[in-house]
Structure 1
Amino acid sequence: MKKVLSVVFLVTSIAFSQNRSEKLNDSAMVIYKSNPQKAVELLEKALSISEENETINAIAKSKNNLGIVKRDLGLFTEAKTLSQEALNISEDSIINASAYNNLGACNRNLGLYEEALTAYLMALKIYEAKNMSSEQATVTNNIGTVYSYLGMNKQAIENHLKAKDIFENADNKKGMSEVYNSIAIVYANDGDLNNALTYFKESLRLEEALNSPKGIAESTNNVGAVFYYMGEIDSALVYFNQSVKAERAIGNQTGIGATYNNIASVLIENDRLKEAKAYLDSGYYYTKKAKSVADIETALHNYSQYYEAKKQPQKALDYYKSFTVFKDSILNIATNSKVAELEIQYQTEKKENQILAQHAQLAEKELQVKQKNTIIYGSLGLAFLLGMLGYLLYNQQKLKNRQLKKEGELKTALAKIETQNRLQEQRLRISRDLHDNIGAQLTFIISSIDNLKFGLKNATLKTKEKLSSISEFTSQTIYELRDTIWAMNKEAITFEDLQARITNFINQASEASQDVEFTFYVSETISAQHTFTSVVGMNIYRIIQEAVNNALKYADATAIYVEISEDIDTFLIEVSDDGKGFNIAETELGNGLNNMKKRAREINGSMEYHAAADTGTQIILTVPKNPERKE
């Protein structure tokens, strides 16, 4: 009797331990995004309990969950080992699918794209068999990410959109955030920065609603990257610094390294080389530690750009060679071909199974139709059958006509979208050519003039002043070229974009004229999301820029004030100074004031100016909130 009681107690104890292990796993996976270190601690306890009781599937589940958390922390090699160990012993297909998905993510980050796609397809096959739609969507989105890394953007978008439809129908906000983020990356790679920024901001909004530290860190970094490529440096640095803070809080080495790389790129491009070196070294350290191949590529490329800016061509060339060799070792045509072959093989097998199932269904339906026809022939006769056939033919023709109409409407819509995309691509191509070609040539001119000034030691003062004047004019032309590129890259400019641009200009003017006090005020009632066309936004910015420059050059002012306010239907923009003013009746208008008035007329606005020796100069621009350009 005692022996029986002992066996019962042992079985009860094992069941209790298994239940505790299960609860620890569930608790860890709830908190791992916000507190990964605590999640690791809980999962290690769960694994210890499962190993003591020798419960195979519980061991596999704990190991795979540990692998998921480690992968989220950027420890890809360790994470891959844990999920592979889980897969080797697991008897549960759901655990196997999760392990395959995690192996795919690890291999993708390690640059093993063929292995990544193989693992993802194995996971997708299991989830499809189990009819688990959310999990199918997650894996489908991950497959799209592999294509995105390989530059196969068409295939990437197809998979991301499939996942998007499933997540939106299920109102799965986390899944929606991840797929929006993935779509944004593809748009960014294609140079469509406006669409990329829209999707990244939507992803950030969802992550903030979910209060997910990991998601907020990634989305914040992505928004900063788009602002960087759009040339809005101030906004980019703000978002990057927020991202670094969030990544450090959760201990994500890959995220820290990627963000340091981004900050280094911004600083190098803006000639802040002393600051850039620390971020370069930190970014390279964390990306190598995490073994994240895409980020290691970026770090090596940043080093090459840094030493080129430092005018150390040999070091720049050495790092560029390292970057090229590393990139070629990861990404090649054979890999792309093999990945595409695996996808085709999987889809072919899937289609064949569907065709076989359809054949069986058709055979069954044909048998049913034959039986029904026999009954109809015997009971209702030939006349009724002919009537039914006529009715069916009428309905079929009606459906066919409706389908043809829908196809025509779809073709028209697609043609319109294609035309818009071509126009946007042309604008982006022109802006890139301006930046890469004309910008580089102007920079070369400045460098050549500076070298010429240095070489002409015995030149007259007038000659040196003339060279300095040409150099300053060329530098100003570069700034204006960047402003033009900024406007060209946008179909529409939000008030937030315009305010950031004006703030950056006034900060630069303040640094160049330290004896002048600048004040920039914007009414709190103005919506940051109000949009202008790129033409209207650029003209407003140019008028403010011209007014401030005139005050600096001619007014001998000690204070310059810029204010933007609104009425019901208009924006009021005032630029004033406390300088010496001028007599309007006795002064002939120069090109500056005439240009400002012309720009105001072009956007259906108006401009007034007042000047007096005792009150300085005041320029007031009135712009309709929804201006239409005059013909």
Structure 2
Amino acid sequence: MFSYLNNKKAIAKIRITQDGSLKILKETLRIGDSLGNSSIGFTSRFYLAEYYLSVGDTLRAKEYCENGKRIAITKKNFEGELKTMELLAKIDPKNSAFYNERFISLNDSLQNVERATRNKFARIEFETDEITTQKNLAEAEKEKISAQRWMILGFSLFFLAVFIFLYISHRQRSKNKELQYLQQQQKANEEIYRLMLDQQQKIEEGKQIEKRRISKELHDGVMGKLSSIRMNLFVLGKNPDSETLIRCMEHVDEIQNIEKEIRKISHDLNQNLFADASDFMLMVTNLVDNIREHSAIHFKIIADEKIDWNRINSSVKMQVYRILQEALQNIEKYANATTVVISMLEKEDHLSVTITDDGIGFDPRSGKSGIGHKNMHERAAEINGKCIISSAIGKGTAINLIIPT
């Protein structure tokens, strides 16, 4: 019954939209073949032939129709054989005359057999009626005597049977309703439990994502700036003259900017941190100038004038700035470099940002990459970019950030 309904559902889809019908038909065919049910096998193949004919695949349509015809012939399903011959005439117009001739021949044969069978049964029925009439006349008198008694007994048994049937049906319906209610209740409980688990998992995932985001912002942004300010203020201990004090007061003002940045992190750092930045290159230059004040590193910035930073999304600029900040901080702490080159170029389909130094380098195969390198890779991934870090001991380090535009 399931296969029959599946076939009807699939053929309805074929005649309306065709969406999903092929999968249903093939599943029904598999079920029929696994059960060895020739009726399901024939019907599924016939409908598959109709489907492939409707989509223009005549080769597969003919293959399935021929298979269905062989099943119909084997099982002496003459009606099925007629249907396949009619469909084959549509699938293979070149040989339609052959199929139509076979259709007409088989149909005439079936009609002749049916006509002969009807005549035979009509003759048998006529002879049987004569015998029955004679028998009925002989038994009529006997039946009249016992008719009333059997009538009373028959009505009694009929009403008793009706009563028993109604009672059993009522009990069965009650049990079925109770069973359906329990099943529905169990499904509802399972669905509620699953939704609770999904919700809890989403909450935990959100917490972890937010923790990682805040960790990266504090490490790359706030800690980087505080480290820069600390090193700039360190000159007070060596040269506490008035000019140095005036210059250091600017870094005290920068602490207020850091406080503002921390407040922004607590609200929505990803969207708002760079929303007010009108000149991205000025921010990069200020970042480099802060390092120049307390370091002997020579910086060179190469920026493509074709880059329209106002057009680039603020989240992309934020991640680029953070990666630059982390890279320069690592160079200052660990590289012992004398020259750093920052290159920003716009290619056909991407933006390329490269930071190279002539420092001591490191061995990438050692696997001792810190949280800074991990954060750079994660930040690049968040803007659908790639961060490629290449280095060798004694040959400096190159960090290449590729961002699709």
Larger radius of gyration: 2
Give the structure-1-normalised TM-score.
0.22
Kindly indicate whether structure 1 or structure 2 has the higher relative contact order, using CA contacts under 8 Å at least 6 residues apart: 2
Give the structure-2-normalised TM-score.
0.34
